[in-house]
Structure 1
Amino acid sequence: MTDILKDALRKAAMFCAYQERTQQEVRDRLKEWGVWGDDAEEVIAELIQQNYLNEERFAKSFAGGKFRVKGWGKRKIKQHLQQRGITGYNLNEALKEIEPDDYRQTLVDLLDRKRRSLNDANPLVIKQKLIRFAMSRGYESDLIFAVLGADD
């Protein structure tokens, strides 16, 4: 390995140690540093071997964080992971990290909080706004209707 690649590996390792990254994020950063092609793939392979880079770990961390901190639904989490190049097994494992009971309760809590912020006399308008809000957060329509239906 050349000195340039060793330097790129060191910088990439620090980049990955700071927070979980995807291979694509590392590849993009290497390109900014002037490392691409087979050299970039060699650095990425070394990062994977040294366990600095692990897409399953990234996906689980991302999904858990977005769900717990931001209250995102599975559809939105899945979409953002796919945009980052996470698919298949890693994507499914990440979504499995979210417990169904916690998922439903988070949606109930989000809808309750949102309902308190709405000022409208018409209950249909309120329900429509709650549905739109929950869908924008990435929750599945059947779950939204089940939760809202249980409240009526």
Structure 2
Amino acid sequence: MTQLYKSYSVTEATKKLESYCVYQDRCHKEVITKLREMRMIPEAIDQIMGQLIQNNYLNEERFAKSFARGKFNIKKWGRNRIVNELKQRDISKFNIKIALEEIDNGEYYKTFNALAKKRLTEIKEKDVQKRRKKLADYLFYRGWESNMVYEKIGELIPFK
């Protein structure tokens, strides 16, 4: 069975990718993946990427900032998780640093405290050690720093 692929001209692909980038901030890696899925040749990919960057449809710093803000405000992720996710998207160290500055320190600690307390009320485990572990695992998975996690667990679930 032959598979038919739609082929795009550079102009068509550029228009399609402009819409893709306008809908939501994208990183370079996502856009390149999309262009490869569209079966564009490397020269066309380079040309389209250049146009998207030049016309400000694609801006890695803007992407990193909005990603950090969104994941912190909506998903309540800590800095470690945000950094790791940005690294997986090949965002530069420089842009990651700038993105983390989008998170207010006061808000960061307030969110962490609220998240830890809320999660603790949801843990039905009776055994103190297991309660501590469940809370720690949850907070680590969300990317919160270990010193903060251990300190908060000591405060919320002290050893008897």
Indicate yes or no: 2:40 matched with 1:35: yes
Unaligned runs of 5+ in 2: 1-7
TM-score, normalization by structure 1: 0.91
More helix per residue: 1
Q: Give runs of ≥4 in structure 1 deviating > 4 Å.
A: none
- Secondary structure at 1:119 match in 2: coil
Identity of aligned residues (%): 35
The counterpart of 2:150, out of the listed 124, 145, 151, is 145
The counterpart of 1:103, out of the listed 87, 101, 108, is 108
Amino acid at match of 1:55: E
* Structural mapping, 1:1-150, within 5 Å: 4-150=9-155
Q: Give the CA deviation at 1:150.
A: 4.1
Amino acid at match of 2:74: V
Measured at CA, do residues 33 and 122 of structure 1 come closer, stay the same or move farther in structure 2, by a change above 3 Å? closer
TM-score, normalization by structure 2: 0.86
Name which of structure 1's ranges 123-132 and 39-48 shifts more when overlaid on structure 2. Answer: 123-132
Deviations 1:74-110 (A, max 9, x none): 1111111111111211111111111111111111111
Deviations 1:2-59 (A, max 9, x none): x921111111101111111111111111112221312211111111111100011111
Unaligned runs of 5+ in 1: none
Q: What RMSD in Å do the two structures reach over aligned CA positions?
A: 1.6
